[in-house]
Amino acid sequence: MQHGTSAFERAVQQAKDDPLDAFTAVVDPTSSQAQHASGPLAGIPYAVKDNIDTADLPTSANTPALVGSRREHDHAVVTRLHDAGALLVGKTNLHELAFGITTGAAAHPATRNPFDPARSPGGSSGGSGAAVGSGMVPFALATDTGGSVSIPAAWCGVYGYRPSIGRWPSDGRAAPLSKSRDAIGTIAESLDLVQRVDAVVRDHHTQTTPPTRFRVGVPRKDSTYLNPLADDVQQRWDHMLQTLEQTDTIELVEVETDKLHELDAACGISIVLYETARDLSAYLAALPDPLTFEQVRDQAGADDVRELLTLAWKQREHHEAYREAMNLREQLRTEWDRLFADYDITGLLRPTTPISPTPIGDEVLTTAFGQEVPTFGTVIRNTGPGSLAAQPAVTIPIGVGTAGLPIGVTIDGARDQDDTLFTLAAELDSYIGVRSPLLH
């Protein structure tokens, strides 16, 4: 996409025409924001996931009770992008309250995958993934609690970045799920643009000396990360490994990772459920027109989300179980640290998801590996351990599989070592990154 004021106007028109239901609201193209854009991102159109507050547009979080809800101020990340000259096009759809991975219908229609409109774009940031993957905007803000940046980036054939928690500002102006896990990140058409966005948003930057050779961890062939994989994912993964094995700068190191999955399974969802009742309640109470958690729960548009909100409300007083879960999370973080130290690796490379995009409507069950499997648990299998431990992650598109659907891989970095992760991701991208054919 050509950048500049005309690019902004074209992006607004594309967002209005939007055949994928990626957008929930679009700005007035005659607004004054484009007249005075200056800075390192001057004139670049972008979108914001509709659970992040913007003063110009309402924040619905794709849930009926919040339709039309507005805050007076932008989230701090949006403010920094505005100050850098980026131009807001609109708000993008999400799985209701970011509580899922398909971006199905709730207050707004289901979002569709730009490669196949009968397929999901992933979630929860599916609108952001579809808006970038289709070329409507060059980048979009997203949020991530359990893989909600990585999954739609991979399923829409573009790049994704989940920062270490604390690298980007957080000011309470976003509808939350879990204070321990939530992070705002970005989905973009290129890794270079991901880094340009990070440069104007981040709170800190660590100067690093790039190594001349990278040791990159890959899960053992019998690991949970790799067993099972859908045929199209397996083929792209094997081809990628063959490519990297022939390089001079990447050394692949097979690592043991199953403890990561064991600890994630033991505590991940219970932490989210306990924190959701508290964190979302606080956000709702601070709105100009306050709401209660019960109001949002009772009006929820999707059955799967209403059930999760009901569980969260029941678990809000389970204080001892929450403390035990947080102790397990600390063990998980220690296990990630041990993995990087014992194997002397810079990152852990893995398939982003075990399967490629699921059909629209497969909210609860989907067909994979020759059988019916739970949609949510299957799709987040590979993203959960890193997001729970707050590892930074970069997702790279590696091409289209045999089913004609995009496949992505994700490189998890060491916590708070995002700059080193970017250096490694750029090296990997130079060998395995495949620009989406929809953006050519």
With the C-alpha atoms ordered 78, 305, 285, 317, is the resulting torsion angle positive or negative? Answer: negative
User: What CATH number is attached to the domain comprising 126?
Assistant: 3.90.1300.10
Is 356 a residue whose pLDDT tops 90? yes
- Residue 204: its pLDDT value, please? 76
Cβ neighbour number for residue 286 with a 10 Å cutoff: 11
Nearest to 91 by CA among 124, 120, 128: 128
Name the least confident of 185-199, 208-222, 334-348, 349-363.
Answer: 208-222
Confirm whether 59 is domain-assigned. yes
Residue range 371-388: average pLDDT? 97
Residue range 368-391: average pLDDT? 97
Which amino acid is present at 137?
A: V
Cβ 95 vs Cβ 102: under 8 Å: yes
Alpha-carbon separation of residue 334 from 59, 258, 313, 340 (angstroms): 37, 14, 30, 10
- Two structure tokens written together for 296: 């949002």
Confirm whether 296 is domain-assigned. no
Confirm whether 278 is domain-assigned. no
Q: Residue 366 in 3-state DSSP?
A: strand
Confirm whether 213 is domain-assigned. yes
Is 3 a residue whose pLDDT tops 70? no
Q: Domain total for the chain?
A: 1
Alpha-carbon separation of residue 237 from 32, 58, 246, 256, 359 (angstroms): 47, 41, 15, 18, 22
- The enclosing H or E element of 373 equals strand 371-374
Q: CB-based contacts of 72: which residues, under 8 Å, 6+ apart?
A: 55, 288
- Two structure tokens written together for 409: 């891989």
- Residue 37: its pLDDT value, please? 74
> pLDDT tens for residues 105-154?
999 999 999 999 999 999 999 999 999 999 999 999 999 999 999 999 99
Q: Cα(261)–Cα(232) distance, rounded to whole angstroms?
A: 23
Nearest to 210 by CA among 348, 434, 417, 431: 417
Q: CB-based contacts of 2: which residues, under 8 Å, 6+ apart?
A: none
Which amino acid is present at 87?
A: L
Confirm whether 335 is domain-assigned. no
- Two structure tokens written together for 319: 């204080």
> pLDDT tens for residues 162-219?
999 999 999 889 999 999 999 999 999 999 999 999 999 998 777 677 777 899 999 9
Q: pTM, whole model, 2 decimals?
A: 0.96
Is 225 a residue whose pLDDT tops 90? yes
pLDDT band at 8 (very low <50, low <70, confident <90, very high): very high
Confirm whether 267 is domain-assigned. no
Confirm whether 231 is domain-assigned. yes
- Residue 2: its pLDDT value, please? 47
| Beta strands 87-92; 23-26: pairing state | antiparallel
- Residue 5: its pLDDT value, please? 55
Q: CB-based contacts of 108: which residues, under 8 Å, 6+ apart?
A: 21, 24, 60, 62, 93
Residues present in the chain in total? 440
Mean of pLDDT over the chain: 95
> pLDDT tens for residues 285-335?
999 999 999 999 999 999 999 999 999 999 999 999 999 999 999 999 999
Bridge partners, 374 (sequence order): 365
Q: What percent of the chain has pLDDT over 90?
A: 92
Bridge partners, 161 (sequence order): 186, 394
Ramachandran angles phi, psi of 131, nearest 5°: -65, -40
Confirm whether 359 is domain-assigned. yes
> pLDDT tens for residues 47-72?
999 999 999 999 999 999 999 999 98
Q: Which range of residues forms the domain containing residue 410?
A: 5-256+346-439
Residue range 424-432: average pLDDT? 98
